[in-house]
């Protein structure tokens, strides 16, 4: 699969899917599976065209995305594609709908088959829809509308998954995604309050837009190589081989996401704090991926440390380990 950040004229006919693919959920998989199967059958180049930033963000509309660009590309690179065009949306934002079809799809990409979802829109001002695409491409390019996917009695859509995650319903979102929702990040220094309470946590700084509120059953995965920690606090550093051994695989964990109202101003920024029972490695600077399995409870304020510690024990017991 070849990744391209600029459009280039293809030398052979292609089958093309177009979209944002935020979250790469079950509906997106149906589109890509249809694309790759039809491309093989018709002996066409399998092509995906996607954009950055998200068109709504480019147009100044508020939207909190499920995936970062890096996560979206990671998912698309795993597919059986021949070409992946990851294009700056600014280059196409003002392209009229008919030119988008005639010049870009049929001309530059040599499209002989287009695979789209039912809510597909294109062209300046989203003026193009499936009906216009069918009229414009008639006789020159086949168009397949990938069937919708329904889970839990609802049509799978990125907008629905965003609402589920914002409400903390990570289990429902995971069913739509066909995998647990995850965020990426780096372990950073915190205030040390978890250690004072007897439950040391990893504080995670994440670039992800959606940080679901509450306390969750999660799985922590170290996704980068060990980074030697500094020794400015005078503590003994564990040998790299020991740290590496502790960091393999996924670790069952309890994760708090909120503003720590028990200790601080409730208006402070969100914090992501993960406790891995039994883990004692010092991992500042490590890249991690945090997979959300289910919600344990909502965020709440406690009268004092004793009540908070009792609740943390119950949260850890809910992990079933």
The tens place of each residue's pLDDT in the chain, 321 residues long, gives 899 999 999 999 999 999 999 999 999 999 999 999 999 999 999 999 999 999 889 988 889 999 999 999 999 999 999 999 999 999 998 999 999 999 999 999 999 999 998 788 898 888 898 999 999 999 999 999 999 999 999 999 999 999 999 999 999 999 999 999 999 999 998 777 777 787 889 999 999 999 999 999 999 999 866 555 554 444 445 555 545 556 778 999 999 999 865 555 555 678 999 999 998 777 999 999 999 999 999 988 888 888 889 999 999 999 987
- Which of 196, 199, 198, 191 is closest to 271 using CA atoms? 191
**Which pLDDT value is given to residue 240?**
54
**Which pLDDT value is given to residue 235?**
44
- In angstroms, the CA 216 to CA 318 distance is 10
User: Alpha helices, DSSP H only, in 119-239?
Assistant: 130-137, 158-166, 170-177, 193-197
What are the chain's domains? 2-151 (3.40.50.620), 180-317 (2.40.30.30)
- In angstroms, the CA 117 to CA 188 distance is 40
* Spatial CB neighbours of 35, under 8 Å, sequence gap ≥ 6: 15, 16, 17, 46, 48, 115
**Which pLDDT value is given to residue 238?**
53
End-to-end CA distance of the chain: 41
Segment 167-174 long-range contacts (CB within 8 Å, at least 24 positions apart): 167/212, 168/212, 168/213, 168/214, 168/216, 168/295, 168/298, 169/212, 169/295, 170/212, 170/216, 170/292, 170/293, 170/294, 170/295, 171/293, 171/294, 171/295, 173/292, 174/292, 174/293
Report which DSSP code applies to 235.
Answer: P
């Amino acid at each position: 699969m070849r990744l391209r950040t600029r459009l280039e004229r293809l030398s052979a006919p292609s089958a093309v899917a177009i979209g944002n693919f935020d979250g790469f959920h079950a509906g997106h998989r149906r589109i890509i599976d249809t694309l790759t199967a039809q491309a093989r059958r018709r002996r066409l180049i399998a092509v995906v065209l996607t954009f950055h930033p998200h068109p709504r963000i480019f147009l100044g509309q508020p939207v909190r995305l499920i995936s970062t660009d890096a996560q979206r590309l990671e998912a698309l690179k795993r597919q059986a594609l021949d070409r992946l065009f990851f294009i700056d949306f600014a280059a196409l934002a003002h392209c009229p709908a008919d030119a988008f079809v005639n010049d870009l799809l049929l001309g530059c990409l040599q499209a002989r088959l287009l695979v789209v979802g039912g809510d597909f829109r294109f062209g300046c001002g989203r003026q193009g829809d499936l009906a216009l695409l069918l009229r414009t491409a008639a006789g020159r390019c086949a168009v397949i509308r990938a069937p919708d996917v329904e889970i839990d009695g609802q049509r799978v859509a990125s907008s629905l998954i965003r609402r589920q995650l914002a409400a903390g319903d990570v289990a429902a979102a995971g069913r739509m995604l066909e995998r647990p929702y995850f965020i990426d990040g780096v372990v950073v220094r915190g205030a040390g309050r978890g250690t004072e309470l007897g439950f040391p946590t990893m504080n995670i700084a994440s670039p992800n837009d959606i940080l679901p509120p509450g306390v969750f059953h999660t799985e922590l995965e170290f996704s980068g190589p060990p980074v030697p920690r500094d020794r400015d606090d005078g503590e003994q550093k564990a040998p790299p081989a020991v740290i590496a051994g502790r960091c393999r695989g996924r670790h069952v964990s309890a994760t708090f996401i909120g503003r720590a109202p028990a200790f601080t101003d409730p208006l402070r920024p969100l914090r992501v704090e993960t406790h891995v029972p039994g883990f004692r490695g010092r991992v500042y600077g490590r890249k991690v991926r945090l997979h959300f399995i289910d919600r344990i409870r909502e965020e709440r304020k406690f009268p004092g440390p004793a009540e908070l510690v009792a609740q943390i024990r119950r949260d850890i017991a809910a992990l079933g380990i």
